[in-house]
Amino acid sequence: MADQLRFDDQVVVVTGAGGGLGKAYCLFFASRGASVVVNDLGGSFKGEGTSHKAADVVVNEIKAAGGKAVANYDSVENGDKIIETAIKAFGRIDVLINNAGILRDISFKNMKDQDWDLIFKVHVKGAYKCARAAWPYFRKQKYGRVINTASAAGLFGNFGQTNYS
C-alpha cells in the first residue's frame, strides 16, 4: 500500500460536521492523525432548532477510534467562537473546512427576504466569519488552509433553490 497522507499534529475545524459529508471529513482527518473540532449547531436541515447530539456522536466516534476531537455547537455566524474552540483545545488551527449548510426550498415567486437572507448568512457570511477568525492564526503560523464546500445544486441549481445557487 502506498504511503498515506498524514495530518499528525495538525488541527482541523469542520463546520456542519454532525452528519453527511461533514462527518465524513471529520472521520477522515482524525483517521490520518489530525485533532478535529466538530462544529454543528444541531438544527434541522432547514436551520431550525439546536441540539448537541449530532456533534457529540461524531466526537465520541473519533475518540473511540483513538483520535482527538472536541465539539463546538455555535452557529457559523459566530465564527470567532468556533475557531477559539480549536485554539483553547489544541493551541492552533491548520485547516478550516466550511461545510455548514441549510435548505430553504421555495419557489422564487413565493420566496421571502428572510428565506434568501438565512441561506446567505449560513453559506456565505458563515464561511467568511470562520475564515476571517482563522486568518490571524494562519498568518502567525505562516500556514493555513481553507476549504469551502459546495453542492451540485449550488452550481447547477434546482427548482426551489434560487437562494441556494
Phi and psi (nearest 5°) for 45? -65, -15
Neighbouring CB atoms inside 10 A of 41's CB total 26
Known catalytic residues are 164
What is the residue-wise DSSP string for 77-90?
GGHHHHHHHHHHHH
Gap between the Cα atoms of 56 and 117, Å rounded: 29
In the block, cell 477522515 appears at: 28
